[in-house]
Chains A and B, each alone.
Chain A
Amino acid sequence: AQTVTQSQPEMSVQEAETVTLSCTYDTSESDYYLFWYKQPPSRQMILVIRQEAYKQQNATENRFSVNFQKAAKSFSLKISDSQLGDAAMYFCAYRSAVSSGSRLTFGEGTQLTVNP
């Protein structure tokens, strides 16, 4: 079974600064997807960024980028120019690409605080 680990329960960053959230995972599969979700106080789960394991290039979405290290099974999220609206719980998630019916496996979450 796959597992996802987020070792930072809480992180904080100053507004306009850069912060990196860590995520590691364990799998024996070679083809899979990785995701970062944002959960603001509204509780809504918002997809921030996704990475296909077969792509070597790191995914980027505006101020959000990832550092995908497949051999190390590491998938960190970098938030540049942090904004107050980035404050939220962030979840790393894994989904197998072996089966179309595969499910998301989540990490424990990292609570990000943005200080003005």
Chain B
Amino acid sequence: IAGITQAPTSQILAAGRRMTLRCTQDMRHNAMYWYRQDLGLGLRLIHYSNTAGTTGKGEVPDGYSVSRANTDDFPLTLASAVPSQTSVYFCASRREGMNTEAFFGQGTRLTVV
């Protein structure tokens, strides 16, 4: 089934541990994004990638890193998790062009204890 897949769907993580959230899309979209969703704050952009090999910082990048080695995959890494990174994380992708729609994964609920 074509779409965008995130893994894991949920995770409890000890503070200080390293964690990589996975995101894979099979739509050959150029652009990919990572958002975090927090109650009362909506979705905020963490990092983005307009094409394979390039990445950029969003609104709340601190404590997170990304890579884009190929078109399909866009992993998000928390090098040393802190409780404030407890959130729901969404990966999204969009085909290049002005009038194109973003597609979202099902989200990863991460709890840092």
Q: Which chain A residues have a beta carbon within 8 Å of chain B's beta carbons?
A: 4, 6, 9, 33, 42-45, 47, 50, 52, 91, 97, 100-101, 103-109
> What is the predominant secondary structure among interface residues of chain A facing chain B?
loop
Q: Which chain B residues have a beta carbon within 8 Å of chain A's beta carbons?
A: 31, 33, 35, 40-45, 48, 50, 58, 88, 90, 92, 96-99, 101-102, 104, 106-107
Give the docked Cα–Cα distance between A64 and B80 (Å): 43
Q: Knowing A45-B90, A109-B42 touch, does A103 contact B58 (C-beta < 8 A)?
A: yes
Residues of the A chain whose Cβ atoms lie less than 8 Å from the Cβ of B50: 101
Verify A43–B40 contact, CB threshold 8 A.
no
**A-B CB contacts (within 8 Å), total count:** 47
Contacting B40 at CB < 8 Å: which of A50, A101, A108?
A108
> What is the predominant secondary structure among interface residues of chain B facing chain A?
strand
Verify A104–B102 contact, CB threshold 8 A.
yes
Verify B42–A107 contact, CB threshold 8 A.
yes
Q: Which 3 pairs show the lowest CB-CB distances between chains A and B?
A: A45-B104, A101-B50, A106-B42
Residues of the A chain whose Cβ atoms lie less than 8 Å from the Cβ of B97: 100
Verify A103–B48 contact, CB threshold 8 A.
yes
Residues of the B chain whose Cβ atoms lie less than 8 Å from the Cβ of A100: 96-98
Give the docked Cα–Cα distance between A107 and B35 (Å): 13
| A11–chain B nearest beta-carbon distance, Å | 15
Give the docked Cα–Cα distance between A88 and B97 (Å): 30
Q: Knowing A100-B96, A103-B48, A103-B58 touch, does A91 contact B42 (C-beta < 8 A)?
A: yes
Residue of B nearest to A50 (CB): B101
Verify B42–A101 contact, CB threshold 8 A.
no
Verify B106–A43 contact, CB threshold 8 A.
yes
Verify B44–A106 contact, CB threshold 8 A.
yes
Could you write out 26 A-B pairs with CB less than 8 Å apart? A9-B40, A43-B88, A44-B104, A45-B92, A45-B104, A47-B101, A50-B101, A52-B99, A91-B43, A97-B98, A100-B97, A101-B31, A101-B96, A103-B33, A103-B45, A104-B33, A104-B43, A104-B45, A104-B92, A104-B102, A105-B45, A106-B42, A106-B43, A106-B44, A108-B40, A108-B41
